[in-house]
Structure 1
Amino acid sequence: MKRKKRLAALTLALCLALTGLAPGAVAVTVYGYQEGFAQAVENGKWGFAGGDGSVAIPLQYDSVVSFSLGMAAVNLNGRLGVIRPDGAYLIPPEYDTLMPAGFGLYIAQKGNRWGVVSVLPYLNEEGKKTNEVYPITYENVELGTSGGLDALILTAGGGSRTIVPLFRLPGILQSLGVEGSQFPLTRGRLPAFTDVRGRDWYSMWVDIAYNTGIMSGTGNNAFEPNREVTVAEALQMAANMDSRFKGDTFHTTAHVSTPWYIEAVDYCLASGTITAGQFDDYERQITRRELAQVFGATSLARSLPDRNSLVRVMAAVGDVSGRDEGAQAIYGLYVKGILTGVDANLSFRPGDLVTRAEAAALAARLARPEQRMDLF
């Protein structure tokens, strides 16, 4: 009996440690972490706890699914939707069924009709914003195989079927004008780095940067999130993103030059991402200001719409002056929702060096529109 009581006490202590609650406080049960969040429940209502164990997304749902690639399905009053890490809806909770199909797409059911919806809206032929890639009019939609290929199988009235191989979906999204379709999210393609834990704030950004092919590990199943980024590594990422956005061949070509980064340097010079003499040493570490200048000069960054007021950004970011070198690039990334600052005051710390984890966060927001932030 004493052993059982001791085990019960240890279990309670573990629960309190996970939730960060003092003894006597109301306990929120927290389950395993993934991408910086853990499923959390109290009195039958679910939400998410952040890395410090406190509630980060309110406990208001009937059920939730763990975050994956920066998205989580939730059940609100019997209807399913998809949220991002700040709790904002990417897909509103109005569906009876939502099943991930990859590439930011979900098989969706309303009543007895099915279709396919995207976490990112686009303008249809009538100029109206919609997230229905295939309208909710089908008798059934499912994942299956056709000719040995994974495919969407859409069944219409009378049993007629439309078969769409999954590998064609990124091209279909691009033809529809869905933003970010040059950087598709591949279902199930998650890294297993031994030095990135599910509770780490950067684990989601590492997952997205890896999944979209912008960054990879450093060998031996490691990512080295706290290692500082060199100029050469930053230019390699910038060339990769710029090339994929424009649809040219740099990102699909094997590079075996010596030194390894010279082709990325040449690409960035030719594309105008950097200018001759901008860097005198490509193997040194890069500062946050310099990284903002490099990323901000890519075709991808220049194409992005504004979502935050420049006037408010300039007033809020207290450690950057409009007269500073690189100020316009820094402000521009805040305005576009890429930079969010290192604290509640939106501070930038322009002279600090950049870790691989921080670079992953910037690259992920550049690539994936659903992760860009409204600051005000």
Structure 2
Amino acid sequence: MKRTRPLAALALCVCLLLSCLPGASALQIHGYSEGFAQAEEDGKWGFAGPDGTVAIPLQYNSVVSFSLGMAAVNLNGRLGVIRPDGKYLIEPEYDTLMPAGYGLYIAQKGGGWGVVSVLPYQSAAGKKTNQIYPLIYDSVEVGKSGGLDALILTAQDGGKTVVPLYQLPGQLAALGVEGSQFPLTRGKLPSFSDVKGKDWFSLWVDIAYNTGIMAGTGGTSFEPGRAVTVAEAIQMAANMESRYRGDDFHTTSHVSNPWYNSAVSYCQASGIITADQFDSYTRQITRRELAQVFAATSLAKSLTERNSLTRVKAAVGDVSAADPAAPAIWGLYAKGILTGVDGSLSYRPDDAVTRSEAAALASRLARPEQRVDLF
């Protein structure tokens, strides 16, 4: 025993010395964006989490920083797009991928160019596909047409198809692409002084802001740790409902006293809340109440189950069948919106909910590619 410890210490010193020698392998971490940093070791790239350890395996030739919950990756010379858990939104099979906004990428494979989506849809032939424009064009680019930003698709015979970018959300909706009511606008990112790229919630703040569900609280602040009030939750629900239904509430300037009256009236008229549901609109909302409000939106009601409801009921131990909010809470878990506050999927229904937590829920409701498979 007296000889083992010095030998172990010597071995550790040798390992540390070798790691400092020129050419020695060491994990290199670059700037954070949406909770992840590009990470490289021995020529392989992946992503590190906020604690500096590898969160997405180092297996790629190169990677691009996360933006709005998506990152392009190069795997053995083929390009694809992943989400924050490393799952592919676009399989790595393309020679070129360039973001065009709205969850769309200009794609090239071999001699063909087209446009692909991070979200698939059922084609007219009944097949699942993510090709919005098939890879049959000689070139595709984002350029100007009539003073507007547009997709310009050039056929092999020289003919051109010009699609103004503002028309893309409508095209996606017509094709039945889920989430098209909440398009991701390229480059529309907040710059809140209290939200940093290393924060776990920066992804959700980016998406909630980009889709118009949430805004800042004044100046350059978002106040991610502040508790959400009943009025703020109702305003978020109104924004989601209006965008999902395609009416003009979310595009109209509302002047009311108090400020939340118009959202309250809209949510009451939409059946999201009742007139006597809350004793005060200015107090903090509980996690139980937030689930009830969000689950009552047309958007939430439209979603299908992706996690077994039976397994959810058994797993979420702090929500009982006697709780009037249980169907709403369990339903949001089953639909991939709620993930719990710990590894046991606990919900803590009586707790307050922070603005960062509310941003996560709203973002998963709005954007299908960010919903979670629990089991």
So what's the TM-score if we normalise by structure 1?
0.93
CA–CA separation in structure 1 for the residues paired with 2:324 and 2:71: 39
1:325 to partner: Cα distance: 2.4
Which residue number in structure 1 is paired with residue 287 of structure 2? 288
Output the amino acid matched with 2:319: V
Q: Does 348-357 or 23-32 show the bigger shift? A: 23-32
Partner of 1:102: 101
Report matched runs for 1:51-62 at 5 Å: 51-62=50-61
The letter of the residue matching 2:215 is S
The Cα offsets for residues 98-124 of structure 1, whole Å up to 9 and x where unpaired, read as: 000000000000001000000000011
Please name the residue that 1:242 is paired with.
241
- Superposition deviation, residue 280 in structure 1: 1.0
Where structure 1 has 5 or more consecutive residues not aligned to the other structure, the ranges are 1-15, 17-21
Q: Please tell me the residue identity of whatever aligns with 1:239.
A: A
Question: Is the 8 Å Cα contact of residues 63 and 73 (structure 2) preserved in structure 1?
Answer: yes
Aligned pair 1:50/2:62, yes or no?
A: no
Give the match for residue 325 of structure 1: 324
The 5 Å alignment of 1:177-188 reads 177-188=176-187
Identical columns (%): 75
1:367 and 1:343 map into 2 onto residues whose CA distance is 23
Tell me how far 1:283 sits from its aligned partner. 0.4
**Aligned residue number for residue 13 of structure 1:** none
Q: CA deviation at 1:26?
A: 6.2
What is the match of residue 270 of structure 1? Answer: 269
- C-alpha deviations, 1:155-213, integer Å up to 9, x for none? 11210000001011011101111000000000000000000000000000000000001
Matches within 5 A, 1:42-191: 42-191=41-190
Which amino acid in 2 is paired with 1:255? Answer: H
**What residue in structure 1 maps to residue 259 of structure 2?**
260
Aligned to 1:4: none
Q: Is the 8 A contact 2:288 2:329 kept in 1?
A: yes
Give the gaps of 5 or more residues in structure 2.
1-15
The alignment partner of 1:334 has SS state of: helix
Q: Deviations over 1:276-311 (max 9, x none)?
A: 211010000000110000000000000011100001
Q: Which residue number in structure 1 is paired with residue 12 of structure 2?
A: none
Measure, in 2, the Cα distance between the counterparts of 1:276 and 1:150: 45
1:12-43: CA deviations, max 9, x gaps? Answer: xxxx9xxxxx9999631100000000000010
CA deviation after TM superposition for structure 1 residue 61, in Å = 0.3
Match of 1:39 in 2: 38
How far 1:253 sits from its partner (Å)? 1.2
Deviation at 1:323, TM superposition (A): 1.5
1:374 matches 2:373 = yes
- The C-alpha deviation readout for 1:205-237, integer Å capped at 9, x for no partner, is 000000001001111111010011000000000
**3-state secondary structure, aligned to 2:133:** strand
Instruction: Report the Cα distance in structure 2 between the residues aligned to 1:288 and 1:57, rounded to whole angstroms.
Output: 30
- In 1, the alpha carbon distance for the partners of 2:138 and 2:183 equals 27
Whole-angstrom distance in 2 between the partners of 1:60 and 1:345: 30
How far does residue 268 in structure 1 lie from its aligned partner after superposition?
1.1
Whole-angstrom CA distance in 2 between matches of 1:104 and 1:119: 6
Tell me, in whole angstroms, the C-alpha distance in 1 between the residues paired with 2:248 and 2:164.
24
Amino acid at match of 1:128: K
Q: Contact 2:38–2:48 (CA<8 Å) still a contact in 1?
A: yes
SS in structure 2 of the partner of residue 363 of structure 1: helix
- The separation in 2 between residues aligned to 1:294 and 1:349, in whole angstroms, is 16
SS at match of 2:327: helix
Counterpart of 1:204 in structure 2 is 203
Q: Counterpart of 2:222 in 1: which secondary structure?
A: coil
- Residue 45 of structure 1 deviates from its aligned partner by 0.4
Counterpart of 1:290, as a letter, is E
Does the CA contact (< 8 Å) of 2:25 and 2:42 recur in 1? no
Regions of 4+ moved over 2 Å: 22-27
CA distance in 2, matches of 1:23, 1:285: 52
Secondary structure at 2:106's aligned position in 1? strand
User: Per-residue deviation at 1:127?
Assistant: 1.0
Q: Report whether the alignment pairs 1:229 with 2:228.
A: yes
Q: Determine the structure 1 residue equivalent to 2:192.
A: 193
SS in 1 for 2:157: helix
Question: 1:158 aligns to what SS in structure 2?
Answer: coil
Distance in 2, matches of 1:283 and 1:227, equals: 13
Q: Normalising by the residue count of structure 2, what TM-score does the alignment of the two structures yield?
A: 0.93
Query: Which SS does the other structure have where 1:278 is aligned?
Result: coil
Q: Distance between the aligned counterparts of 1:105 and 1:55, measured in 2? A: 28
Q: Residues of 2 paired with 1:293 and 1:80: CA distance? A: 41
Tell me the distance in 1 between the aligned counterparts of 2:136 and 2:215.
40
- 1:303 counterpart residue number: 302
> C-alpha separation between the residues in 2 aligned to 1:237 and 1:77?
42
Tell me the C-alpha RMSD between the 2 structures: 1.5
